[in-house]
């Protein structure tokens, strides 16, 4: 055998020994994986990591370790993932929530239906409209939503002239940025509030359209009310298109600032329920009448709220 052939044989032998060692290494790694549960592939590694962190996989959807907490909130938490994307169901739910929020802003308030509900709850009603002639102007010109149109001013002034004594309080049911909120919750909330209004002279509920919070100021002034409570649809969120806000103003008149109001927010069954909101408002009204002010000078020290079930005895004990 010449020198060249000898070198070729030696090189081939070395390659065979390298291959044998590589095969042995692979076998040892596979055996270790069988005994320790170590992942052999990248996908196995991801699943093992997810399992260690408390998440799990169902039909290719990785759930979050805090998935059980979803039952306590409507917030968009623990949505899971498929790869680096949202699963189809929560993605579609997001689109639906966005559409509902847009609908809430543009949906008109059915004033006749709301008036019928308020009459059934024992309240008289009046109607008023802001100076915004339509929804487009309302959204683009917030200042118009804070002023009454001429017809409404005349109507309210005429009612006040026929009334012997000025009211202590007037409630305004306003569409705001979510007519859904006023439509769904205003009458139901006032029905819970009514038993707490003994000793108060209550004006007819004013149903206001294209309204901002400050529209309650000229309404309260024209009717001569000591306090105005504006129940208004709040800006819709992606999990709360029907949130109702309660804005309380003592001695209402045009030019009042937001710092001169108290606010109770997110009144709805999924947020601050009617009984809890009525309890807080009752406390604020009594304090506003005693202190003759609202806003930053009136802090909410109403204390413990009634249970979510709305225990009437609990409300009476705190009243």
Question: Who's near 132: CB < 8 A, 6+ residues apart?
Answer: 138, 141, 144, 145, 210
State residue 23's pLDDT score.
52
Contact 234, 272 (CB under 8 A): no
Domains of the chain, each with CATH number or no CATH: 104-318 (3.40.50.11240)
Identify the pLDDT of residue 13: 52
| Beta strands 227-233; 244-250: pairing state | antiparallel
User: Distance (Å, rounded) from C-alpha 148 to C-alpha 298?
Assistant: 28
Quote the pLDDT of residue 211.
Answer: 98
Rounded to 5°, the CA angle 135-137-140 comes to 110
Residue 155: the pLDDT is 97
pLDDT, position 95: 81
Q: How far apart are CA 308 and CA 318, in angstroms?
A: 15
Closest CA to 217 of 172, 277, 180, 275: 172
pLDDT at 86: 81
pTM for this predicted structure: 0.72
How would you classify residue 186: left for phi > 0, otherwise alpha for psi between -120 and 50, otherwise beta?
Answer: alpha
Closest CA to 223 of 205, 239, 236: 205
Residues of the chain scoring pLDDT < 50: 1, 4, 9, 18, 22, 25-26, 29-53, 304, 308-319
Q: What is the CA radius of gyration of the chain?
A: 33
């Amino acid at each position: 055998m010449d020198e060249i052939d000898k070198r070729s044989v030696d090189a081939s032998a070395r390659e065979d020994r390298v291959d044998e060692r590589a095969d042995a290494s692979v076998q040892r790694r596979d055996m270790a994986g069988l005994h320790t549960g170590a992942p052999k592939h990248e996908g196995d590694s991801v699943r093992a990591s997810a399992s260690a962190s408390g998440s799990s996989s169902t039909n290719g959807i990785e759930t979050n370790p805090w998935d059980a907490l979803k039952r306590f909130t409507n917030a968009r938490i623990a949505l899971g993932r498929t790869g680096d994307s949202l699963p189809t169901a929560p993605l579609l739910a997001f689109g639906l929530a966005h559409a509902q929020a847009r609908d809430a802003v543009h949906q008109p308030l059915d004033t006749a239906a709301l008036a019928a509900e308020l009459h059934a709850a024992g309240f008289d009603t009046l109607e008023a409209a802001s100076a915004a002639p339509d929804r487009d102007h309302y959204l683009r010109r917030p200042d118009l939503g804070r002023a009454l149109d001429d017809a409404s001013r005349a109507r309210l002034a005429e009612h006040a002239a026929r009334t012997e004594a000025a009211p202590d309080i007037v409630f305004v049911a306003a569409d705001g940025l979510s007519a859904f909120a006023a439509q769904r919750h205003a009458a139901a909330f006032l029905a819970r509030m009514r038993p707490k209004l003994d000793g108060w002279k209550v004006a007819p509920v004013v149903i206001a359209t294209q309204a901002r919070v400050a529209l309650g100021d000229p309404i309260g002034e024209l009717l001569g009310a000591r306090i105005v409570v504006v129940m208004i649809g709040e800006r819709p969120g992606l999990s709360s298109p029907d949130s109702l806000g309660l804005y309380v103003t003592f001695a209402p008149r045009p030019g009042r600032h937001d710092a001169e109001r108290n606010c109770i927010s997110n009144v709805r069954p999924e947020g601050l329920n009617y009984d809890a909101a009525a309890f807080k408002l009752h406390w604020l009204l009594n304090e506003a009448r005693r202190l003759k002010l609202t806003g930053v000078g009136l802090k909410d020290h109403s204390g413990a709220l009634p249970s979510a079930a709305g225990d009437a005895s609990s409300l009476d004990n705190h009243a």
